[in-house]
Homo-oligomer: A and B are copies of this chain.
Amino acid sequence: MSDRFHVTYLLTLAPGEDAEERIRALQLEQSAELPDPVVHSLGMQYVTGSVTELNVMGEPESAGDPNTSRYAGTSGKQGSSHLSEAAASGASAGPGVWPRQLRVTIAWPKNNHGNEITQLLNVLFGNISMKRGIAITDIRWEDVAGDETAGGGRNAGGERDLVAAGRNRLLAGPAFGIQQIRKKWNIHGRALACTALKPMGYSSRKLADLAFRFALGGVDIIKDDHGLADQPTAPFTERVEMCVEAVDRAAQKTGCRSRYFPNITTDPHRVTERFEQAAELGADGVLLCPMLVGPALMHHLARLNTGLPIMAHPAFSGSYVAQAGTPSTHTAPHGFEPGLFYGGLMRALGADFTIYPNTGGRFSFTSEVCDAINSHARNSGMPFAPCFPAPGGGMQRDRMAFWLKNYGADTTFLMGGSLFEDPAGIEAASRAFMETLGA
């Protein structure tokens, strides 16, 4: 077990920018937040972490430039490579597009984040969120995976125990994950279908009627639209009661029960209460927008043993995601590599399902980005239960065969608008959707 937390960054250098200075600035900004001489005089160099791997792409302006000679065009490595295959695609535009980019892995002391997920996110992307040209492309999850160590790094006698602190394992991933959900719901060998109740402004009665028709059509999961909160037109409790009743009623007709996931996103101090309320009212899972309530809260909910899986919705998340830099936009990638964010981070934080905007729909993710999200969500190399990737955002039924072939059975396909549009009506459209999945 390493006493360090390894994070890999892709830095885009401006013309003439010094590679070594850029890396050092990142190390200082995300830890001591003091000038280097002060850090040395205080004897606190260790908090600034260490570079364990470095790969420079592109050439410096002048081969003999003494300012860049140490890192220019070289590739250094200490310790074994841990870049996952999925992380290799996504944020990086690679050499050729940018004059120079660095891929650098920094090993941070675990004391820097301690026992808090908020502080882990702060170490990852706190102050540097306000910089530009810094993408996070890989996180070594095993450094922070596992059950929480109780007691804040103190031993049984209540004294400070830095060895125990070094063993802190903060993140535990989904409470269920793909296999347990398949077993729980007895759905094997095929992809899952999900749809959404909307629009906001509809009454609870009308939303429940929609739920009834989706359930008659056999859709696996019927979730609230992420825009359904506690509005006067469809207050949370009333809506959940009516939708649960509607899904139950449909099950009596069909003999096969759909699952209802209400949206529990609300002001953070009330989310836990709403999660427990959803369980009491008979919901089968919940929808949550982690970036609206604070992402660490999702992880807390996943540990509460309500029995309800969590579906993460990406609302308010887009700003955190590094867009691939292209020659036409000249936008240096900044933020989390999208596969790492929607696949890896959401999974680590406890999402059983992670919704993302599929390529070819209303959003602009490329198919490479979507593949990376799927890979991060499901890959067996991560020390968490795998999570269902849930592509959505403008999916059409006539393309389902294509998506199924490309994304595979361990996917939850999210189809909203196109079921509403179908002239055959919602029940028939839902049934046809399920048939494309072999249900």
Q: A230-B115, A268-B296 are in contact. Are A420 and B38 (CB under 8 A)?
A: yes
Chain B nearest CB from A275 CB (Å) reads 11
Residues of B contacting A154 in the complex (Cβ-Cβ under 8 angstroms): 232
How far does the alpha carbon of A290 sit from the alpha carbon of B363 in the complex, in Å?
28
> Are A268 and B289 touching (Cβ within 8 A)?
no
> Are B417 and A33 touching (Cβ within 8 A)?
yes
How far does the alpha carbon of A118 sit from the alpha carbon of B121 in the complex, in Å?
20
Residues of B contacting A335 in the complex (Cβ-Cβ under 8 angstroms): 319
Q: A119-B229, A162-B232, A269-B297 are in contact. Are A130 and B330 (CB under 8 A)?
A: no
Chain B nearest CB from A396 CB (Å) reads 11
Chain B nearest CB from A324 CB (Å) reads 12
Residue of A34, A118, A420 with most partner-chain B CB within 10 A: A118
How far does the alpha carbon of A288 sit from the alpha carbon of B124 in the complex, in Å?
17
Residues of B contacting A421 in the complex (Cβ-Cβ under 8 angstroms): 35, 37-38
When C-beta atoms are compared, the residue in chain B nearest to A118 turns out to be: B292
**Number of A residues with CB within 8 Å of any CB on chain B:** 96
List the one stretch of A98-106, A174-182, A247-255, A310-318 in contact with chain B.
A310-318
Q: Is A16's CB within 8 Å of the partner chain B?
A: no
Number of copies: 2
> Are A31 and B227 touching (Cβ within 8 A)?
yes
How far does the alpha carbon of A417 sit from the alpha carbon of B42 in the complex, in Å?
12
Interface residues of A in 90-104 (CB under 8 A from B): none
The residue that A117 contacts in the complex, of B118, B267, B416, with Cβ under 8 A, is B267
List the one stretch of A62-70, A196-204, A430-438 in contact with chain B.
A196-204
Residues of B contacting A162 in the complex (Cβ-Cβ under 8 angstroms): 232-233
Residue of A196, A297, A321 with most partner-chain B CB within 10 A: A297
> Are A289 and B126 touching (Cβ within 8 A)?
yes
Q: A119-B265, A200-B112, A292-B294 are in contact. Are A318 and B34 (CB under 8 A)?
A: no
Q: A225-B33, A269-B272, A335-B319 are in contact. Are A292 and B199 (CB under 8 A)?
A: no
Q: Is A131's CB within 8 Å of the partner chain B?
A: yes
How far does the alpha carbon of A35 sit from the alpha carbon of B34 in the complex, in Å?
52
Q: A129-B315, A265-B119, A316-B122 are in contact. Are A202 and B44 (CB under 8 A)?
A: yes
Chain B nearest CB from A322 CB (Å) reads 9
Q: Is A132's CB within 8 Å of the partner chain B?
A: yes
Residues of B contacting A116 in the complex (Cβ-Cβ under 8 angstroms): 229-230, 266-267
Name 14 A/B residue pairs within 8 A (Cβ), A-sorted: A32-B199, A38-B421, A44-B201, A47-B200, A111-B233, A112-B200, A116-B266, A126-B226, A127-B226, A130-B314, A153-B232, A269-B297, A319-B319, A319-B335
